[in-house]
Amino acid sequence: MTMFRYLLGWILLNYCCFRISEGGCWWPTPFPGSTWLDSTRDTITFTTETLTGFSMTVPGGSISNWECLDNSSFAGEKILVIKSTDTFSLVGATWITYLCLQMTEVSTNSFVYYQQAAQDPTGGYNRALFSQNGMITNKATICSGTAVPPAEYHFMVKQGEELNSLQPCGSFLLSKFDYQVTDTSSTVSCDSTTDNWDVCTNTSMIAFNYTTCATVMAYSSGGTVYCMATVSADGFQYQTVYNPSSTPNKFACIVVNSAGSAASFINNNCTVGQTPTSYAKNHDGTNIGYLATMTKTASCFTTTTTTTTTSTTSTTSVTTATASGTTAAAGGGGGGGGANSAASTDGGSGGSIIPMIAGAVVGILLIIIILFLIYWFCYRKRRFCFKKKDVGHSDANANSATGAQVINSKEGPADKNGPTIIPDLSAPIT
């Protein structure tokens, strides 16, 4: 049994040393042992050190298995560097793929990320580093400074945390709309009725009323999608929405203009060149998705004027925009939470200060009592609080004041009637 323990310890020690010598890398929190929904790759799974399902099409096939290569920049820069354990063959050579994922935390369990690299024709114009050298470890080599278009972001959320990771929809969408739809064959629908596209009832949810127009919107058969992330760029807002009624593709991208009058839709993630008035495009340049034109029928905001008076009696008018709907999880449950938060804040600002004063008085009294007890203890038990050369003689100072030195009984013979007094020889003789 002892030999078995020694053997097991030796194996573990060598494994750890091997991992350290090889620059061992483990996924940082919150990734280890979890599955995530990805707007581009569908479902991806992290173990302690590996990643599966993160697929990428390359010449001659695809790669989907990866390992952690460098996590040293995640805590600060939110960068993960990964390396493929799958390889592919091209022009008689074997190629390894390296990825630099520049991430932005949207919520505790959701991220927007970019593949920070130039498009490389070797790997089918994917944004990655493709090399025949399987020993590259330098982050600077893998993470190029190439500017990536804002529309090329990807989104991921931990499975099971989708409805806990909702975000308010982009401000360009916060209205109720009548709308009409044009698909890639120029067929128009939802144009003969007054339709209802509602983002005000719940400002984290987009609801379409299929009673007036049955055209499926945002690829949702149920007519409801939830806002997960908003990226603002080029005067537009790129809105990623989560679609619980869709299988397997759970996400869609809506690109909307600042006026809230035009939007384009595409399944999964946004694409370069997609604008509110131009279709997303496939790799071969063909149009995909559909366009919508909208007319606002109501705003989610009400404008109110609040008058405040300063100490100099001057009056200032402050105009604020207030959302009339709720920002909530599925079912609108978060609306009550928002109300509770507001009530809690108001109560804190208007509460009494009497408890604070009472607490301060009690604290001061306690300090006084403690100091008095310490003083009383030292006064009654002085031998424990002060050191003396001779505990038994309290007149030592008086003797010194008269020019005499006290010799303790340990330093010479003692008179049974008290200490021996030696005259001060420096005093004048009379």
pLDDT digits (tens, 9 = 90+) for 406-426: 333 334 444 444 443 334 444
pLDDT per residue as tens digits for the range 148-160: 999 999 999 999 9
* pLDDT, tens only, 57-112: 999 899 999 999 999 999 999 999 999 999 999 988 999 999 999 999 999 999 99
Calpha distance 3→290 (Å, rounded): 70
Q: Please report which confidence band the pLDDT of residue 326 belongs to, taking 50, 70 and 90 as the band edges.
A: low
Other CB atoms within 10 Å distance of the CB of residue 102: 18
Dihedral sign (CA 97, 102, 105, 108) = positive
List helix spans (H) across 53-138: 74-77
Task: Tell me the per-residue pLDDT of 4-60, one tens digit each, with 9 for 90 and over.
Answer: 444 444 333 344 443 433 458 999 999 999 999 999 999 999 999 999 999 999 998
> What average pLDDT does range 310-315 have in this prediction?
35
Domain ranges of the chain: 9-158, 171-300
Tokens of 186: 């120029």
Q: Which pLDDT does position 23 carry in this prediction?
A: 52
Which is nearest to 204 in space by CA: 327, 339, 108, 338?
A: 327
- Return the pLDDT at 298: 94
pLDDT digits (tens, 9 = 90+) for 199-217: 999 999 999 999 999 999 9
Structure tokens at 214: 């049955």
Q: Which two tokens stand for residue 198?
A: 């509602």
Q: pLDDT, tens digit, for every residue of 349-378?
A: 334 445 456 667 777 888 999 888 888 777
Q: Please report the pLDDT score of residue 358 as a whole number.
A: 60
